[in-house]
């Protein structure tokens, strides 16, 4: 007898709308959670000088959770500032969505600037806006062959690589080189089916997954779909890391849920030039972060994220000493 696909069973359960699934078994990161499960807070006595310009809070207040049932899986609970959330949401919409990054909409259009095109007529073309489902950065993920190649590769955004470096250092996963990313754009009815991420040559390097906007139920299973997955609620700003034993586990997103908190709307404080110690930071980087304080600069992005979720999924492709594929 075939062994039951318990992953699919759970996926269908959380996906359904009528009747709505119970969220009783979903692992929520409220304060009671710490009593129920193992907490793995990494004490940091020193901040990293890059945090503020990357839109991150001081490392000393970050909260990371590890799970005894899922070794290698870690969640850092929203370490982003409100301004940082705005910065990364805007990057994904305005910049990472431009060609030559690859996008699902490339089949239908050759236009470079999807975000500007959405507002071409002066008001938002929602139908066109909702067509963007993914973009790929760095080594482009090949959805058919699942094989990366040197011939299909763009420049990986340096700020995103630096963000991953700070998170990797915090967790002690060094050295990590961000070389490929998928940015997923979810609407309220979107799902992502069960899969493993196994295209990378380097399957020891962790995978960093950043969530912004509306919340998601994230299912994490094991190496076979016959094992029942756990359901986690990912909220805006949460970073999920799949490392070690969890790196090759099945995972999926069966449901997007309305966010109960909108951390991108919390009080925004400007980044002060005097706080930035990084040698490579330029005045433009600070103003790029601070421009989203102005409501008129931020409004269109806020409207998008009020009904959407964005996930940035970053991988190292090559082995530590490898230069090309």
Ligand X SMILES: O=C(O)CCC(=O)C(=O)O
Residue 238 engages ligand X in binding (rule: CB under 6 A): no
Residues 73-92 that bind ligand X (CB under 6 A): none
**Residue 251 pairs with which residues in a beta bridge?**
195, 220
70 known ligand binder: no
Partnered with residue 220 across adjacent β-strands are: 230, 251
- Does 141 appear as a known binding residue? no
Interaction of residue 311 with ligand X, rule CB under 6 A: yes
Cα–Cα nearest to 92, from 56, 55, 136, 142: 136
CA 225 to chain centre: 23
Nearest-approach distance from CB 93 to ligand X, in angstroms: 16
Residue 238 contacts residue 266 (beta carbons within 8 Å): no
| Shortest distance (Å) from residue 134 CB to ligand X | 8
Residue 184 contacts ligand X per CB under 6 A: yes
Strands 134-138 and 207-213: unpaired
Among 74, 75, 180, 182, interactor with ligand X by CB under 6 A: 182
To ligand X, the closest distance from the beta carbon of 26 in angstroms equals 14
**Among 161, 152, 107, 110, residue whose Cα is nearest residue 134:** 107
- Is residue 223 within 8 A of residue 63, CB to CB? The reply is no
Asked if 132 is part of the footprint of ligand X (rule: CB under 6 A), the reply reads no
Q: What CA–CA distance (Å, rounded) separates 213 from 251?
A: 20
Cα–Cα distance between 194 and 23 in angstroms, integer?
19
Q: Please tell me whether 58 is known to bind a ligand.
A: no
Residue from 218, 232, 264, 298 binding ligand X (CB under 6 A): 218
Number of residues that bind ligand X (CB under 6 A): 12
Write down the least CB distance from residue 216 to ligand X, Å: 6
Residue 235 touching ligand X (CB under 6 A)? no
**Which residues contact ligand X by CB under 6 A?**
182, 184, 192, 197, 209, 211, 216, 218, 251, 253, 311, 313
């Amino acid at each position: 007898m075939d062994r039951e696909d318990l992953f699919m069973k759970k996926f269908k359960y959380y996906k359904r709308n009528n009747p709505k699934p119970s969220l009783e078994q979903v692992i929520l990161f409220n304060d009671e959670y710490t009593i129920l499960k193992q907490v793995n807070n990494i004490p940091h006595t020193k901040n990293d000088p890059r945090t503020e310009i990357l839109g991150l809070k001081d490392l000393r207040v970050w909260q990371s959770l590890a799970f005894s049932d899922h070794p290698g899986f870690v969640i850092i609970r929203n370490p982003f500032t409100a301004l940082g959330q705005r910065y990364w949401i805007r990057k994904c919409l305005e910049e990472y969505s431009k060609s030559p990054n690859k996008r699902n909409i490339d089949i239908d259009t050759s236009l470079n600037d999807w975000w500007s095109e959405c507002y071409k007529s002066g008001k938002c073309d929602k139908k066109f806006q909702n067509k963007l489902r993914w973009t790929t950065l760095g080594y482009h993920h090949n959805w058919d062959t699942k094989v990366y190649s040197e011939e299909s590769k763009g420049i990986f955004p340096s700020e995103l690589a630096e963000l991953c470096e700070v998170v990797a250092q915090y967790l002690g996963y060094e050295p990590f080189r961000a070389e490929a990313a998928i940015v997923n754009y979810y609407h309220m009815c979107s799902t992502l089916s069960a899969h493993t991420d196994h295209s990378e040559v380097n399957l020891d390097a962790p995978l960093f997954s950043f969530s912004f906007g509306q919340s998601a139920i994230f299912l994490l299973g094991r190496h076979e779909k016959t094992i029942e997955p756990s359901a986690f609620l990912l909220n805006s700003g949460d970073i999920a890391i799949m490392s070690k034993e969890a790196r090759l586990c099945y995972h999926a997103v069966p449901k997007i849920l309305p966010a109960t908190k909108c951390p991108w709307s919390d009080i925004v404080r400007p980044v002060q030039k005097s706080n930035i110690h990084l040698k490579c930071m330029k005045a433009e980087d600070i103003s790029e972060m601070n421009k989203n304080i102005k409501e008129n600069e931020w409004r269109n992005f806020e409207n998008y994220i009020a009904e959407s979720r964005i996930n940035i999924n970053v991988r190292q492709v090559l082995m530590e000493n490898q230069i090309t594929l």
